[in-house]
Amino acid sequence: MNGSLQPLLKVVGDTLTGERLHMVERAYLTAAHWHRGQRRRSGEPYITHPVAVAAILAELGMDHEVLCAALLHDVLEDTDCPEQELVRGFGEPVVRLVRDMAALRDPRQVPAIWASETGERVLMLKLADRLHNLRTLRWLPEAKRRRTARQTLETFAPVAGRLGLGRLEQELERLSIANLPGGEGVQASFGVISAGATLLPREARARWLEEWLGELHTLPGRWPRIRFAVQLVSGMPRLAITLRRWDARDGHPRPGMAAVRGAGLRCLRWVLASDVRTWSLLMPLVAWLVLDTAGERLGDAVTILITVPPVLAAGVRALRTRLGERDGRG
């Protein structure tokens, strides 16, 4: 199987087997055949887009028919593939999903109530398609980026919220806002904050990130946002320890967590005891932030490169002090 399908297979794991897995693989081969020679604005082969959409849906636990429809979702509109060929190969239910999704290509051209009258599986397909397009929005002209961002905030993010997809809703909102006027510096600053927030307990992380994103958008300009991000990241270790120690609901230690917390602290102490181990973990994070931001805003990438390592170093020192550790050695 071509390596281009690996991102999807990695997410699917062993949840699909037998004929269902074979059907998904055939859908990939069919899409790759009909999209051959086509490329995205980024220069990547077009097939990378339907694979990414299918991977998003696999992360959301969607079934094999939806994954097939995701892989095939642009075949009927963007290639010369006959519809009956898809029906023979994958059945009417899959092709109906593709057709119904195509009907939502532009919400301005369909009834205003499309979101409430469309089946959930079709909406999931459309949301995953829009999410991946937003993730790669930097390759589009500025006017189209802004138009897509506004449309997403007005239509798609609320649909994700109605379906109970809070994390997907937040990412749609964050990516959209970062591409609207006044969003300068938001994406880079929020990327730094999100990276630091990986220290926080998973169940508390989304709530704090949502609050901090709102704060970023109230600040006037790039540098106040960068200063805000730096201050947050430098205090992230202390907040992480506080949140992990106390239950947010009643202020008492979480039952059954003592052993896990003890093992986590021992691991953390071992990492902090060595500068080599500490920075071996942190520098790939910094490199990822710089490279990811540089693709869209080189100035923000330089700012991250200059400001984030000293902030992380201060956070490491604060955490070592809190845990009673001396400065790390090689």
Looking at the annotation, which residues are catalytic? 77-78
| CA 18 to the chain's CA centroid | 30
Q: Return the number of other C-beta atoms located less than 10 Å from residue 12's C-beta.
A: 20
